[in-house]
Amino acid sequence: MEHLIKRIDAPLHDHLQLHAIEYLQFAFRWINNLLMREFPLLLAVRLWDTYLSEGDNFPEFHIYVCVALLLRFSKDIRKKEDFQSTMLLLQNLPTEKWTDDDIQVLLAEAYKLKMIYGNAPGHLRQTNSA
């Protein structure tokens, strides 16, 4: 996830680095809870329906959905001026009023990212660069 954000939205990545925010600090919950806590139940079910259609590619696609979610709130995140306010936003994204249309747009963005970066999966592997 970090490698994708660094490639796609360097200002967002730099902002997170500036405030000493590690991706694991917010993405752990997103990954382990399959975004259940980030969306109202009906939207989470809609999201999971798409995940099920991905079959064995579900774990990889979930990363792209998380990246798309982070990109969706990039401007809001970059407006935050410190660690605490940034983390509060990342842990409580304003999705409570989202509709099915919002989830469809998020999924479309995730599919787009998968099509662009999926055939260049270097960002999905941990690399040791000097």
Q: What is the pLDDT of residue 123?
A: 54
Q: Which residues contact 90 (CB under 8 A, 6 or more apart)?
A: 21, 25, 26, 77
DSSP code of 115? H
Q: What is the pLDDT of residue 111?
A: 97
DSSP 9-30: -HHHHHHHHHTT--HHHHHHHH
Does residue 75 surpass a pLDDT of 70?
Answer: yes
